[in-house]
Structure 1
């Protein structure tokens, strides 16, 4: 199979030292020589087409007049080139006498293919395939990534092909070293000029031009096989073609539809995305309609063990309406692709619109990670719709994975400058296509998060809020406590609340906001559990306690805990009502106090859903709880006014006895602008 740029006149110059001009003189019309050889050996090419050459398309086929026959070419099995010619025990293709016969069974078939092609190239006119090999592209014209310079590789920076190219080259080097050792042990003497460059060249010829052997040799294990002349046709995903294999006889290529005079005849390698086209053939298609983004996520066995209680997952306990097939086979060994809306292959089956561009395995893996971080088991979850908090936790894991890829693969800020080569041109097409996909997927997830955000206001509806909105809520419900809180932040830590944003000297904004969130949750708990008012902060707390029960035993006093504990002790010295209440948390008794109508306290365990333990060391448990909630729940999003400023957000909603299946989770928010 030939690429747009992979069909340039091949000569023996690169192995014999002769110049290309000298080689062209030796073969004034290599296409005619090739076709004469092809027809003399029972190959057939439609008489109304001809093979031509130019610098942009290489050797290719055009119609010399309107075609009245769909058949373009037929190549007999006897003309194919592969290691099979070395195997004299078979009678499917002609036998060739070669020292490489000693390597049969000692090297993989595809490696023998490479060695055999190089050997035949060195034989020159003594090779039965000399007219064919003379028309193959030279190493100098190869455009697959394994031929890229360091400068070319810069165009692949941040893409999957960056590492894949290194792996491919490393694999080829290992195959070359092994082949040398086997040839030496088997007494096979190849030409002294035979080196890794030529081995790499042969490998590229097979990846860019070979067909698989299944259809023409169905009774043998699969291997790559070269079909001369048929492999000259360039590729188009829009070409309508028909491949007819007559087992053990020949391969016929037919074109379906009318072809006008002067039009290039094109083959169709089947829909392929640009990474496969670039890696295998050395070219890319701009705006490739089948383009996808390959991504990997693996769930460690210890996570499965914790959330399921065993190493196996129950196919019935799958969230978001995803199919049980997402657990079939070893999903860690398969490639998984992100697909944008309108992809020809469709999206993936589940009930959440923003998840439908992600393979089920990735969504399921993210869901298991969400359970693990919350110390939940599958038996704790309601299926098939686990609720808004677990949905957001799953989305956050996916969002972080996509965001990491976006940072490594930013969108181009301006049109690409003039590129030095076709390698850079095709690499840039591939790279920009991948960037567009990953940023589109990021935008789709971010739109869902943004759809639930509120800005600088109090919201009784479920919402994703920053400390700004939380402070507005505190101020609306408890103005005095809000002022006490604001004063304490300023006096004890230098944190100023102004213009709806927290600032502190020598403290990163994200760290400040985490700190403020922890303190806010503690204050919310303190003042709402001892207040006469059934306020919005109180219903927020009930919901958070239902998702994160107060720990029933004391936890390790880590650095974060000690830091918060020390701050609370300082705040208590303020002497105001807010911090006096915080300071007296340990004296609240064995239940959660709540004022009765006559002003006396009584205990109602249901005020802390999910908690049934004693309340000794209540302050310590509350600090531990607040740290856990913020660490687990926070979602980092840019400020709505200053995109450069990242805000730490929490999902806050009033506690509901009717469960968590909130309708907004299933809404299709839409794609929106790609950033």
Structure 2
């Protein structure tokens, strides 16, 4: 089957179409039909296809039966069994003849219905002009002419390097080889004459025909009860109907009848227009793997993300628990981890912006892997999925997940660019489609990067209210980071629409902070004292502890100190008769939340963190603070009205409180990539330098 790449039609070559006219005559002679408005045509880009005749001025209206393929011409397992059946409604006898090819029952039982049908197609191919299906089989792509990945060799195979198609090809080839070898042995052992003619090349061809052209068992539902039509083991070839090219979102239907299967268009088709089939919402990888082509700008394109739950990880444990709770899920092997095209049309109206690009299962899974212990306490496990629920304090997991997703997107695009760096101009159809596929995969990751980076960008905007004018300015600056000409105009525009048209999963803006930004959350009267205190502590500790040299605001003690300060001020403000400063509602709620989820340290036991290197550095920092308390008392005096007595043993930066803050900092911080959109300017090669920055997460109030 050819791709549906738009092109001006070329004049038809009647000689090259003769075998298709003879196929039509054969179908009609067996009781089939092609609508009078439709003709078989051929052009350079679409190959052989069906189109409305140019002189058919009224076109073809909705609900027109374009083709009727008689059941007598179909090929399925029922032909292998030489089966006859009485139609349920009329009682008429429907014969599915084997037309002279009878396999030993021992062979059929050994390999099963699906494999037996593939071998049956080989046998009918070998019958040549004597075979009943000869008019149909000779119109199929012949062995050696296919363009699916199993047929890639030599230089063609290099075009798949670095893509997931390469491993998919190897897996399919291995599976098909295994099935062929089993079938070949069983056929010989059953004593079937000419078993040696059923070669690997013919098996690969026949299997490819069923993979690319077969229809589901439902097309036989007009004759057989559903219990006899196993979707897993039953596939049907429909001559003439399977001639149609694929067009994403084409509105068509296959209707099962008691004598035939009808191909019906559910939209108006104008004169001269191609009548397309619809193979379903296939992405370019599926189109390449099963049909040997892909579509530039395929609206249904999406990328499957390979994400494995490490043994013992929260995600793996949760999945095991999910199966225990819902045993019916034990047989499901596919995880729906997708990155979607920005034009993807099959979205629910209420779906969020992030979920319109990243499947909910993907973001939920990465969120679980990125969750801290506090967030995992809220984990929801149902038959529908495993997720960190939305709620106060849990957007940290979403932000951490998006950071991880961005790293995956950048890495994926860089890998594809690097593996394709030495490829030259495509020289044949396989290479052309392999390049289209590679380019489409890079586009998926790079456009998704823009969306993910937007949500993280909002998490860094502390004064962003979200009104229309501010949104336009912020979005303009965000999109302005994309190199000129990076995306086609329609893609660039669609990215903006996708951001503006859908609600975000992130309820609040400005939840990620550097140390320099945190004091602005404090009451105005204590901001300057806080900044001066922290600056003195970090400066002195840098000089005293060599491993902190040059750390400044990125010192590992910066966030733990702020956590200790906020809780100290909150605790002091809650004491009986306190006349001290009151924290803003956001910080007050956060401090209460922290104390609830991370119990304060006891006074009678010395705490220590698990990592020995961290504990050593904390010990050195303790010494610096203790020395400052005796020699630089003024550093803490100005904060005393807010924090309480700093001279007592359990003061706000005591060893135990500092370790409490240290452990919380490890749980509540998020590392996000620095300026991820600048990596869109990376050259053709795959070399990228990705750095991250650590931010403290302070939940907003809109939860």
**Residue 122 of structure 1 contacts residue 191 of structure 1 at CA under 8 Å; is this kept in 2?**
no
2:612 is the alignment partner of 1:559:
yes
In the TM superposition, what is the alpha-carbon distance from 1:80 to its structure 2 partner? 1.5
User: CA separation of 1:372/1:167 partners in 2, compared to 1, >3 Å: closer, same or farther?
Assistant: farther
**Residue 396 of structure 2 contacts residue 668 of structure 2 at CA under 8 Å; is this kept in 1?**
no
In the TM superposition, what is the alpha-carbon distance from 1:628 to its structure 2 partner? 4.9
1:650 aligned partner: 695
2:261 aligned partner: 251
**Residue 347 of structure 1 contacts residue 357 of structure 1 at CA under 8 Å; is this kept in 2?**
no
Query: Aligned partners of 1:262 and 1:110: how far apart in 2?
Result: 39
Query: Aligned partners of 1:369 and 1:561: how far apart in 2?
Result: 24
2:674 is the alignment partner of 1:638:
yes
1:40 aligned partner: 29
1:128 paired residue among 105, 119, 132 = 132
Query: Aligned partners of 1:55 and 1:353: how far apart in 2?
Result: 40
2:2 aligned partner: 3
1:548 aligned partner: 598
1:175 aligned partner: 179
**Residue 458 of structure 2 contacts residue 510 of structure 2 at CA under 8 Å; is this kept in 1?**
no
Q: Structure 2 length normalisation: TM-score?
A: 0.68
1:229 aligned partner: 240
In the TM superposition, what is the alpha-carbon distance from 1:200 to its structure 2 partner? 1.4
Matches within 5 A, 1:445-484: 445-453=452-460, 463-469=511-517, 477-479=530-532, 481-484=534-537
User: CA separation of 1:353/1:548 partners in 2, compared to 1, >3 Å: closer, same or farther?
Assistant: farther
In the TM superposition, what is the alpha-carbon distance from 1:162 to its structure 2 partner? 4.1
Query: Aligned partners of 1:641 and 1:340: how far apart in 2?
Result: 18
1:335 aligned partner: 336
Q: Deviations over 1:111-143 (max 9, x none)?
A: 122211112212212221122212211233312
**Residue 380 of structure 2 contacts residue 388 of structure 2 at CA under 8 Å; is this kept in 1?**
no
1:196 aligned partner: 200
Please, which moves more after superposition, 467-476 or 87-96?
Answer: 467-476
**Residue 242 of structure 1 contacts residue 253 of structure 1 at CA under 8 Å; is this kept in 2?**
yes
User: CA separation of 1:560/1:388 partners in 2, compared to 1, >3 Å: closer, same or farther?
Assistant: farther
Matches within 5 A, 1:10-409: 29-46=18-35, 49-53=38-42, 56-64=45-53, 66-67=55-56, 70-91=64-85, 92-102=95-105, 103-149=107-153, 151-152=155-156, 155-156=159-160, 160-190=164-194, 192-216=196-220, 217-219=223-225, 220-222=228-230, 223-237=234-248, 239-247=250-258, 249-255=259-265, 263-295=273-305, 303=314, 311=321, 333-339=334-340, 343-347=344-348, 354-355=354-355, 357-366=357-366, 368-369=368-369, 373-374=373-374, 377-378=377-378, 387-409=391-413
Q: Structure 1 length normalisation: TM-score?
A: 0.71
In the TM superposition, what is the alpha-carbon distance from 1:55 to its structure 2 partner? 5.4
In the TM superposition, what is the alpha-carbon distance from 1:557 to its structure 2 partner? 4.1
**Residue 73 of structure 1 contacts residue 254 of structure 1 at CA under 8 Å; is this kept in 2?**
yes
Query: Aligned partners of 1:380 and 1:71: how far apart in 2?
Result: 49
**Residue 184 of structure 2 contacts residue 198 of structure 2 at CA under 8 Å; is this kept in 1?**
no
**Residue 101 of structure 2 contacts residue 124 of structure 2 at CA under 8 Å; is this kept in 1?**
no
2:539 aligned partner: 486
Query: Aligned partners of 1:621 and 1:245: how far apart in 2?
Result: 73
In the TM superposition, what is the alpha-carbon distance from 1:250 to its structure 2 partner? 0.9
**Residue 373 of structure 2 contacts residue 667 of structure 2 at CA under 8 Å; is this kept in 1?**
no
Please, which moves more after superposition, 112-121 or 643-652?
Answer: 643-652
Q: Alignment partner of 2:103: what SS?
A: helix
In the TM superposition, what is the alpha-carbon distance from 1:94 to its structure 2 partner? 1.5
**Residue 548 of structure 1 contacts residue 629 of structure 1 at CA under 8 Å; is this kept in 2?**
no
Q: How many residues align?
A: 589
Q: Alignment partner of 1:215: what SS?
A: helix
2:657 is the alignment partner of 1:629:
no
In the TM superposition, what is the alpha-carbon distance from 1:86 to its structure 2 partner? 2.2
Query: Aligned partners of 2:121 and 2:580: how far apart in 1?
Result: 85
User: CA separation of 1:547/1:434 partners in 2, compared to 1, >3 Å: closer, same or farther?
Assistant: farther
Q: Alignment partner of 2:109: what SS?
A: coil
Query: Aligned partners of 2:127 and 2:260: how far apart in 1?
Result: 26
In the TM superposition, what is the alpha-carbon distance from 1:479 to its structure 2 partner? 2.0
Query: Aligned partners of 1:174 and 1:598: how far apart in 2?
Result: 75
Q: Deviations over 1:431-480 (max 9, x none)?
A: 44344344444433332222232699xxxx96422345469998762525
Matches within 5 A, 1:425-464: 425-453=432-460, 463-464=511-512
Please, which moves more after superposition, 189-198 or 63-72?
Answer: 63-72
Query: Aligned partners of 1:312 and 1:28: how far apart in 2?
Result: 56
**Residue 83 of structure 2 contacts residue 97 of structure 2 at CA under 8 Å; is this kept in 1?**
no
Structure 2 residues without counterparts, runs of 5 or longer = 6-13, 86-94, 382-386, 464-508, 574-578, 680-688
Query: Aligned partners of 1:294 and 1:211: how far apart in 2?
Result: 24
RMSD: 5.1
In the TM superposition, what is the alpha-carbon distance from 1:636 to its structure 2 partner? 2.4
In the TM superposition, what is the alpha-carbon distance from 1:290 to its structure 2 partner? 2.5
**Residue 60 of structure 1 contacts residue 234 of structure 1 at CA under 8 Å; is this kept in 2?**
yes
2:628 aligned partner: 576
User: CA separation of 1:188/1:516 partners in 2, compared to 1, >3 Å: closer, same or farther?
Assistant: farther
Query: Aligned partners of 1:198 and 1:486: how far apart in 2?
Result: 76
Query: Aligned partners of 1:183 and 1:466: how far apart in 2?
Result: 71
In the TM superposition, what is the alpha-carbon distance from 1:626 to its structure 2 partner? 0.2
Query: Aligned partners of 1:48 and 1:355: how far apart in 2?
Result: 43
